Amino acid sequence: METLATGLGVPVTSRVVRQARRDAPKILGLSSQTQRSLRQASGLVCAWHIATFGRKFSRIDRSDDSSPGTADVICEGATRVSYSLKLNHNATKHPRPHSLAQWVELAKNCKEDLDHRKQLADASKMFRARAGSATKFEDVKIPTKKLYDSVVVICAGSLNDWCPRLSLADELFTFLVGEGFVKAITELNGAKLRQVRIHRYDRTPRPSAVVAVAQPNGHLLLQFSNGWELDLRLHTASSRIARSGQLSLKFDSQVVKSPGLPTMVLKPV
């Protein structure tokens, strides 16, 4: 952000300053080579940004955990450009299976939401019966695998019911992938900069339909009509088994196929 602000000759918001102070110990804890590589990557992104969008910006802002959308850094001015910044990975969202209806903008406690949560509650009840007195998921690997398989089947069934009936494919795609932003993925080879990949999610084709496929080992495959495929891997968000209420589960969403996504590769000199 400092590199981009300097390159554009614009100020940063107080939120940028505050979060930079918070992150400073993490940055200083990296090796000197890694710090140089990250500065080099920032320079590549800044040069690409100026060549692509020009310099008509007035300030740099940064999102926080409560901000909606996918962006980490926002360039504001005559046009608005939002960036999602990643290091060595292309993960999208990490959503919870219980809130599946909210992924597609269905209201909490609507019929679809209540039916889905009831099915997950039944699967949780069956898991707890199989797990017995165990307190950690790692101690009951077979019941945990059965839980994963049950949850992805329930989620696939819910999505395959809702999305065609209520025309929710685009809402699902927007929630998991996002829209209107640029993703910059810094790829290191050890501590040295290999390249920066720029993905233009602000120019992504939109889907009109989706098929959800439950796969083994807790994977949920989403096949969109625009040719995109996402793999959602279910895993535990906590090592401990809650004795009541929702089990601590979440998905790790990864893009498998992304046809039509404009992509540039920036190489260090």
The tens digit of pLDDT for each residue in 120-175 reads 999 999 999 999 999 999 999 999 999 999 999 999 999 999 999 999 999 999 99
pLDDT band at 89 (very low <50, low <70, confident <90, very high): confident
Query: Cα angle at 219 between 116 and 152, to 5 degrees?
Result: 15
In a domain, 190, yes or no: no
- Strand boundaries in the chain, DSSP class E: 57-62, 73-77, 81-87, 182-189, 192-200, 210-215, 219-224, 229-236, 249-257, 263-266
In a domain, 184, yes or no: no
Pick the last residue of a domain from 83, 107, 126: 83
In a domain, 89, yes or no: no
Pick the last residue of a domain from 31, 51, 83: 83
69 pLDDT more than 60: no
Pick the last residue of a domain from 25, 54, 83: 83
90 pLDDT more than 80: no
Query: How many C-beta atoms lie closer than 10 Å to residue 259's C-beta?
Result: 9
**CA 100/CA 107 separation, integer angstroms:** 11
Token pair in block for residue 93: 């969202």
Is there a single domain that holds both residue 129 and residue 217?
A: yes
67 pLDDT more than 90: no
pLDDT band at 188 (very low <50, low <70, confident <90, very high): very high
Is there a single domain that holds both residue 103 and residue 214?
A: yes
pLDDT tens digits, one per residue of 204-259: 889 999 999 999 999 999 999 999 999 999 999 999 999 999 999 999 999 999 99
Token pair in block for residue 145: 């695998």
Mean pLDDT of 81-92: 85
**CA 3/CA 41 separation, integer angstroms:** 10
The terminus-to-terminus CA distance of the chain in angstroms comes to 21
The domain of 119 spans 97-175+205-257
Mean pLDDT of 19-47: 92
In a domain, 194, yes or no: no
Sheet holding 57-62: strands in order across? Answer: 57-62, 73-77, 81-87, 182-189, 192-200, 263-266
Of 246, 225, 247, the residue nearest 236 (C-alpha):
247
Entry pTM = 0.82
Is there a single domain that holds both residue 112 and residue 157?
A: yes
Is there a single domain that holds both residue 122 and residue 240?
A: yes
Domain count, the chain: 2
Mean pLDDT of 29-38: 94
Is there a single domain that holds both residue 160 and residue 219?
A: yes
